[in-house]
Chains A and B, each alone.
Chain A
Amino acid sequence: MQKHNQKEHLYKLLVIGDLGVGKTSIIKRYVHQNFSPHYRATIGVDFALKVLSWDAETVVRLQLWDIAGQERFGNMTRVYYREAMGAFIVFDVTRPATFEAVTKWKEDLDSKLVLPNGKPVPTVLLANKCDQGIDVLMNNGIKMDQFCKENGFVGWFETSAKENININEASRCLVKHIIASESDPVQSIEPDIIKPHLNSSKIVSCSACFKS
């Protein structure tokens, strides 16, 4: 089946965010193309695998780590984050408190995990349950772009696991950034460990990920 000259990448991706925001639903939709309102709360971590034909030469295997929403308080996240290459942070647009938790998740992630070149792992923000029509936060896309820049997200998407909105797109955006960060070894030489705004230039170069 596999072509001889095909490259294969395996990436570990984290899916994190407060409990009940739809992390498991997003993964089930992405991997199994279905949705159920009946998923049980994730305990610890669940695993899923998604294989993408990235381009003619490249197959990307995504190892998705679905981490329980309460874990940030359980002090176990360090173990789960290890060697991840990218992350989704998810919040529920119908519950503002879950958006407030986004920065806490991002801090938790960045404090426990950096790429071999010392940079934070590429992270995409998902505003889930956008089908519910309660747009408490989404009425201003520019604000969200700003939020992402300030907090070091490489992009953000309104998603719905239920209606299958933007999940494939969000994933492609994240993978694109991972591939870019992999072929970016120059960065490792730079003494930029504590420069949170450094990646803002990268964000601008990826305007495709943002809503217009």
Chain B
Amino acid sequence: MKSKKASSFHEFARNTSDAWDIGDDEDEDFSSSSSSLQTLNSKVAKATAAQVLENHSKLRAKPERAQSTLSDMPTNCKVIKSSSEAQLSRTSEEACVRTPLQKQQSLPLRPVIPLVARISDQNASGAPPMTVREKTRLEKFRQLLSSHNTDLDELRKCSWPGVPREVRPVTWRLLSGYLPANMERRKLTLQRKREEYFGFIQQYYDSRNEEHHQDTYRQIHIDIPRTNPLIPLFQQPLVQEIFERILFIWAIRHPASGYVQGINDLVTPFFVVFLSEYEDVENFDVTNLSQDVLRSIEADSFWCMSKLLDGIQDNYTFAQPGIQKKVKALEELVSRIDEQVHNHFRKYEVEYLQFAFRWMNNLLMRELPLRCTIRLWDTYQSEPEGFSHFHLYVCAAFLIKWRKEILDEEDFQGLLMLLQNLPTIHWGNEEIGLLLAEAYRLKYMFADAPNHYRR
């Protein structure tokens, strides 16, 4: 199983470097030292991640020489150099010292992406025309999706580095397990599930004003107008009603958690993606859509959100044990990968729970623009236990991404203010791609052999 994952990461690396367009292929010769502790997979994965990062950094700017900072490197970044891997591993140190990731912040060429515009995807219309590679990728998706039995493993592999927006709605339905892989069963399944959802509405929705449910409904009713308050789409009454129904039905069907603040955010990506099948989402008036289309979008959003929540239910049950556990795991992980940041937090008495609770509870949605969340979820839905497990590594990579800014802050308030307002407003697919590559590297370094890295 491990080797399979690793090979899919190679695939990912290939695709990703494709998408990022490899620039000049100059030779950079870094010496690698050896260590015998690592599994083959983490070596391969790490090296591949390094390759991705390197390709990217070459494209953008010359990375700073890694040698000067090697002393800061965690010892576990070292890679065995064998002839077969020489090509891949030669710059792994470079990735380990994180220079490529950090160089992202002051790139001059970045297109300015407005806060609200292009909420669904920065590559929507108005973006430059598709490259040949993008067309090839899209073609591959179309092939997979139109085959009699969609190969879900293959679909996951293709989706890991991002799903083209044209095929995202159907791909998401498949990846979430909502739509069957078998083509013939799809239409009927959709019809049945949509009817089932509206059956729930008919059966339960009137009970929202009854005593045992009115608290739940009131909380949802208060939170809906302030879900995505800056995006006009979500201020439309029809959209708000859809969200209320979805959340209310989910809440009363899951009494162990009920409605927990933050779940409201989790409907948004599904809704936007399924809506994008019919319209360009920006500032779009949903009353222009037929009743049938709106009902389909609502039911599909409900079911896909339910599938997502099934995997992270202990995040939202009493005392939110899933979140407590993950915040602890994040702390442990950061203490190993970046002791300096970890000690900095300790010095100023910053607790991980104070900022990372939200990262777990809202799956980083509060920290990233919506378009980035959608891109992130392409990967989460392709990765085994993406939302429940891989997310932890994404959070760690996300935190370390800001290490310089963190180490510059020298008091509790400054740190918390920074951590709660991280400047990601301009982020797009590129930053998310890098974040995911780094997260993948971390996952392989630490998840498979935790004892090797215990301090």
Binding site for B on A (CB under 8 A): 19-20, 37-41, 43-47, 49, 63, 68-70, 73-76, 79, 97
Closest residue of chain B to A49, judged by CB? B413
Decide yes or no whether B301 CB sits under 8 A from chain A.
Answer: no
Decide yes or no whether B312 CB sits under 8 A from chain A.
Answer: no
* Contact yes or no, B319 A38, CB < 8 A: no
* Contact yes or no, B229 A74, CB < 8 A: no
* Contact yes or no, A70 B219, CB < 8 A: yes
* Contact yes or no, A40 B227, CB < 8 A: yes
Closest residue of chain B to A44, judged by CB? B357
Decide yes or no whether B343 CB sits under 8 A from chain A.
Answer: no
Which residues does chain B contribute within 8 Å of A20, judged by CB atoms? 219, 222-223
The prevalent SS among residues of A at the interface is loop
* Contact yes or no, B222 A19, CB < 8 A: yes
* Contact yes or no, B353 A44, CB < 8 A: yes
Which residues does chain B contribute within 8 Å of A46, judged by CB atoms? 420
* Contact yes or no, A44 B354, CB < 8 A: yes
Identify 5 new A-B residue pairs, CB closer than 8 A, beyond the known A37-B229, A45-B357, A79-B351. Answer: A40-B226, A41-B223, A41-B226, A46-B420, A70-B219
Which residues does chain B contribute within 8 Å of A76, judged by CB atoms? 319-320, 353, 357
Q: Which of B222, B223, B320 contacts A74 (CB 8 A)?
A: B320
Assembly CA distance A20 to B357 (angstroms): 20
Which residues does chain B contribute within 8 Å of A47, judged by CB atoms? 354, 413, 416-417, 420
* Contact yes or no, A74 B319, CB < 8 A: yes
Decide yes or no whether B230 CB sits under 8 A from chain A.
Answer: yes
Shortest CB–CB separation between residue A36 and chain B, in angstroms?
8
Decide yes or no whether B14 CB sits under 8 A from chain A.
Answer: no
Binding site for A on B (CB under 8 A): 218-219, 222-223, 226-230, 260-262, 264, 318-320, 351, 353-354, 357-358, 361-362, 366, 412-413, 416-417, 420
Shortest CB–CB separation between residue B6 and chain A, in angstroms?
36
Most buried by B among A44, A45, A63: A44
Closest residue of chain B to A39, judged by CB? B226
* Contact yes or no, B262 A43, CB < 8 A: yes
* Contact yes or no, B230 A79, CB < 8 A: no
* Contact yes or no, B227 A44, CB < 8 A: no
* Contact yes or no, A43 B358, CB < 8 A: yes
Which residues does chain B contribute within 8 Å of A41, judged by CB atoms? 222-223, 226-227, 261-262, 264
Assembly CA distance A47 to B227 (angstroms): 20
Interface pairs (17), CB distance under 8 Å: A19-B219, A37-B229, A39-B226, A41-B262, A43-B262, A43-B357, A43-B361, A43-B362, A43-B366, A47-B354, A47-B413, A47-B416, A49-B417, A63-B412, A69-B261, A75-B319, A76-B353
Assembly CA distance A46 to B357 (angstroms): 11
* Contact yes or no, B261 A79, CB < 8 A: no
Shortest CB–CB separation between residue B375 and chain A, in angstroms?
21
Which residues does chain A contribute within 8 Å of B366, judged by CB atoms? 40, 43
Closest residue of chain A to B260, judged by CB? A70
Shortest CB–CB separation between residue B389 and chain A, in angstroms?
21
Q: Which of B228, B229, B318, B357 contacts A75 (CB 8 A)?
A: B318
Closest residue of chain A to B417, judged by CB? A47
Which residues does chain B contribute within 8 Å of A39, judged by CB atoms? 226, 229
Q: Which of B219, B229, B318, B417 contacts A40 (CB 8 A)?
A: B229
